[in-house]
Chains A and B, each alone.
Chain A
Amino acid sequence: MNKIQINDFLKQKGSIIANGIVTNNPVFRLVLGTCPTLATTSSAINGMGMGLAATFVLVCSNVLISLLRKVIPDKIRIPAFVVIIATFVTLVQMLLQKFIPSLYESLGIFLPLIVVNCIILARAEAFASTNKVFNSALDGLGMGLGFTASLMLIGIIREFFGAGSLFYGSLAGIETGIQIEALADYSLNIFVLPAGGFLVFGLLMALINYLTDLHNKKKELKAEAKKEDALKEGRKEDLHIAFKEADLKEKNDEASIEDKAKADDAKDALKNALSDGTLNTLAGEDR
């Protein structure tokens, strides 16, 4: 593989991951998995834990479903997916219970409920069951990271306003985060309550929609400007291509007399166009 091929490869794989994190963010764009989003984000650590657990399940189940995509009969694919997902959820549950019991306790019922998490089922159905293994793994990773990032963002905001702390808690016996003493008394308790979850979720969604609109508008303006430029440049490019082709043929000595004549014409046309400035007036005529 040469450099360009590697670049293209990375670009393609990167876009699969970016699709999950930004373009099709499961929480804010696809609005999937809202129940765990609202229920487990009362603190940043809980949000992150939930997100990472779901990511693990998502990647593993995507890989296995993709491997078995030609074996699973179409009519019973959903039960098959659920069995595969449930296997990995059980794994995560046991691992968390053993190594991070505090997180296991605080996630409670929402940990086993990952089995029926819309995001995981949706990715199994929409992506893993029709795509190759490596791409499916990347899609699971992207979607999982998008889910984790969204949950962490909501969790940070809720924890800061609701309890006056940042990432406060313990993970596998290690104390994490800080408790801002000055804020503790003044914290707005509503943000830790379910009502606060809806509030932060809604406001963030509004903000993200606003920013997306802004971004799209800018993109449109840019695209329009580019189009105009392209129309102007278009004529020039055509001539360049003709010139290059002619040049190549000449060098390879394969060219017939007609070809040589054509090449000369192209060269002349380009030279004339570049010198007398008719290029701009010709621009876009034949487009």
Chain B
Amino acid sequence: MSRYLVSSSPHIASSRTTRNIMLDVIIALMPAVIAMVAIFGFYPLLNTLVCVGFCVLFEFLFNLIRKKEQTVGDLSAIVTGIILGLNLPAVVPIYVPVVGALFAIVIAKMLFGGIGRNFANPAISARIFLLLAWTGVMTSFVAPLDWSNLAENNMFFTVSNVFNIKMPDLVTSATPLAHVKEALELGTNPATGINALDMFLGTIGGSAGEVSALAILIGGIYLLIRRVIDWKIPLVYILSTVIFTAIFYSDTGYVGEYVWTYLLGGGLLFGAFFMATDYATSPKSPVAVIIYGIGLGLLTVIIRKFSSMSEGVSYAILLMNIVTPLLDKIKVKPFGGYPAYKNKDFVDASAIKGRALGVWNSKENMLSDLAKGIEEGGTNG
């Protein structure tokens, strides 16, 4: 979200602060973290904690060295850390999250001016950086942990695995999407050998926090109820992915199978709820949001079908992040002017401490806020 929104009065006070919103996002990410521990054990949790710790540390150090106001308190570095941790494969050498945190915070976020000024989602940028830097490490996904037979799985904690980039003895497992890609090349049924329930619960290979559709949906619905994210982005993104999958795969004869494997496999749900909805890197006006969502879905399906990679969510989000400033040129008339669109619910509510957020309010909220604003003379913000 942008820190300052330049607009003429009237201004409306809101109790929403960056910190509150980030706290909500952290709460919403907890089901995915719990699912990650249940599926892959404690090692990915350690990775996530390393991510969080170093994200906060790098932001602190950057502000200290550049003599800027400390922004660690707004919790956004913690959110970036958790999302990055959930985006990594379950087992990676321990310095991979450190380098990821360095890239996410210093290069993708702070060098561009800190929170609200980053051109792309820091966690996504860092994930793509790591994917291109250490492709082997970032694409070796382990099979889910067998809790009844932990003795064989204790390799997760050996020193040689933690520090050796080659990661010996790792039992890798193909992700459902890699399986689907193979089926596409062979022309066979993509759903053979894949269990929809496994994919829904998350007992499949994949990035540590992205595998469980159930946990992500719980977190996503929490965010929607708390009105932290714009419901249009995940809805349009997921719907357009489904529609474009149906179009692009119509000649394969297994349209239904492709649709549900693409829906549940990979990072689609996680990306749609937690990464595409980043305030700073997603457009604001309703029309722009719909274009954004359709673009995301189209790019995801194109990359999944035509590129050499089996997954395209992170690239799609990065590319649409870059287009966002253009989409933001599609303007909503300022509050108080003639409505640009039939939906009048969009309110520029400037938050306390000079931090302004675009907040989606219901009509009632808007009116009561407006009344409050008029009482206060409309001068705050």
Contact = CB atoms under 8 A, between A and B. Distances in A.
Interface stretch (A55-63, A89-97, A181-189, A212-220): A181-189
Contacts of B107: 199, 203
B165 A206 contact: no
A193 interface: yes
Contacts of A186: 165
B166 A185 contact: yes
21 contacts: A185-B165, A185-B166, A186-B165, A188-B99, A188-B133, A188-B134, A189-B132, A189-B133, A189-B134, A189-B135, A190-B129, A190-B132, A190-B133, A191-B133, A193-B132, A195-B132, A196-B132, A199-B107, A203-B107, A203-B111, A206-B111
Contacts of B133: 188-191
A189 B111 CA distance: 22
Interface string B94-129: 000001000000010001000000000000000001
Interface of B: 99, 107, 111, 129, 132-135, 165-166
A230 B129 CA distance: 54
A189 B99 CA distance: 13
Interface string A195-216: 1100100010010000000000
Contacts of B165: 185-186
A206 B132 CA distance: 23
The 10 closest A-B pairs by CB, nearest first: A188-B133, A190-B132, A190-B133, A185-B165, A186-B165, A189-B133, A195-B132, A193-B132, A190-B129, A189-B135
A181 to B, nearest CB: 13
A271 B193 CA distance: 105
A201 to B, nearest CB: 13
B125 to A, nearest CB: 10
B162 to A, nearest CB: 14
Q: Which of B111, B132, B134, B135 is the most central at the interface, judged by chain A CB atoms within 10 Å of its CB?
A: B132
A206 B165 CA distance: 31
A186 B136 CA distance: 11
A189 B129 CA distance: 10
Contacts, number: 21
Contacts of A199: 107
A185 B135 CA distance: 12
A103 B132 CA distance: 26
A188 B133 CA distance: 4
Contacts of A206: 111
Contacts of A196: 132
A193 to B, nearest CB: 6
B282 to A, nearest CB: 23
A196 B130 CA distance: 12
B137 to A, nearest CB: 10
A161 to B, nearest CB: 9
A226 B154 CA distance: 71
Q: Which of A190, A196, A199, A203 is the most central at the interface, judged by chain B CB atoms within 10 Å of its CB?
A: A190
A188 B111 CA distance: 21
A197 to B, nearest CB: 12
A65 to B, nearest CB: 41
Contacts of B99: 188
A189 B134 CA distance: 6
A141 B129 CA distance: 38
Nearest to A193: B132
Nearest to B93: A186
B278 to A, nearest CB: 21
Contacts of B111: 203, 206
A259 B150 CA distance: 109
Interface string A40-57: 000000000000000000
Contacts of A193: 132
Contacts of A190: 129, 132-133
Nearest to B135: A189
Contacts of B135: 189
A208 to B, nearest CB: 14
A183 B63 CA distance: 30
A188 B165 CA distance: 11
Nearest to A203: B107
Interface string A150-170: 000000000000000000000
Nearest to A186: B165
A37 B107 CA distance: 21
A206 B166 CA distance: 34
A206 B110 CA distance: 13
A105 B107 CA distance: 34
A189 B138 CA distance: 12
A199 B103 CA distance: 11
Contacts of B129: 190
Contacts of B134: 188-189
A204 to B, nearest CB: 13
B339 to A, nearest CB: 41
Contacts of A191: 133
A158 to B, nearest CB: 12
Nearest to A196: B132
Given A188-B99, A190-B133, A191-B133, 9 more contacts: A185-B166, A186-B165, A188-B134, A189-B133, A190-B129, A193-B132, A195-B132, A199-B107, A203-B107
Q: Which of B129, B133, B135, B165 is the most central at the interface, judged by chain A CB atoms within 10 Å of its CB?
A: B133
